[in-house]
Amino acid sequence: MSIHPLAAVSPYALVGNNVRIGPFSVVEPGVVIGEGCSLASRVTVRSGTTLGRGNQVFEGTVLGGLPQHLHMPDTPGRLVIGDGNVIRENVTVHRAMEADKSTQIGNFCLMMVGAHVAHDCAVGDNVILTNNSLLGGHVSVADRAYISGGAAVHQFCRIGRLAMVGGLARVTRDVPPFVTLDGGTAMVVGLNRIGLRRAGFTVDQMQQLKGAYRVIYRSGLPWDEMLATLERDFTAGPAAEFAPFFVSGHDRGFVQERRTPPGATVRLVREEGDEPVSVPEVEKKAG
């Protein structure tokens, strides 16, 4: 164990073997720091925080801060961080609102400079939060999702497994697994092909996901029929994750596709009182 003489570590904190704590860092009472963790200078770990093994925490980070809420709880919950995470400079992660709940960060995540995770979030394993990305309260991010720089996720939204959110996106609805969200429009623009390949998905699995994607975004089926088709035709493999994701959702809905389905028309009113006319999609694009 190596604790710099200018660090302030409470005698009521539990610090594991081979932990390094740099100058001007503060570790409050009730904190648990697992074996092999490294805290650089000016790191603050607040009461109610537990770190697993082998986490690297860089300068200026604050872990376990109180929830940002108008009604500050008297007894907030905890922050639980897994193993092997890299938490870069000036990251902030807040504790849960209620005493019996926790904000959770999984294993082997990378949280880049200035990322923020609000109270009661649940972040899975191998998630990447890039610079200045923001998660509102009660957001859940599934394994291997990628949140690009400056993206902001509204409270209570869900980000599915291996989804990719583009830079500066404003996410106000659930993002299904395996898709890519365009940063400019914050709408779905296809599958996360690069992420899927890196994750080792086979050609057959990719084809299966394409088929399910067409059912969701291209078939034009009503909601109930779309769910029934997914549950009937995609019972195994990664595409089987779509139906449970939608069924377990809430009233926020899910992000729609940027591309308008083929054959769609636009309804226009030329003059007040005139009947609306249909304009083919190709004309709309040309105009």
User: Which positions are annotated as active-site residues?
Assistant: 119-120, 137
List, in sequence order, every residue forming a beta bridge with 112; answer none if it has no partner.
Answer: none
Give the 3-state secondary structure of residue 141.
strand
Give the distance between the most distant pair of CA atoms in the chain. 80
Sign of CA dihedral 154, 66, 44, 19: negative
The three-state secondary structure class of 210 is helix
Q: What is the DSSP string of 174-192?
A: BB-TTEEE-TTT-SEEEE-
Helix crossing, 223-233 with 203-217: angle to 10°? 160
Pairing of strands 102-105, 78-81: parallel
Q: Are 94 and 103 in contact (CB under 8 A)?
A: yes
CA dist., res. 276 & res. 267, Å (int):
6
Q: Calculate the dihedral angle through the C-alpha atoms of 176, 182, 185, 186, rounding to the nearest 10 degrees.
A: 30
Place of tokens 């209570």: 156
Q: Which residue has the tokens 């299904």?
A: 176
Half-sphere CA count of 56, side-chain side, radius 13 A: 8
Tokens found for residue 112: 């880049």
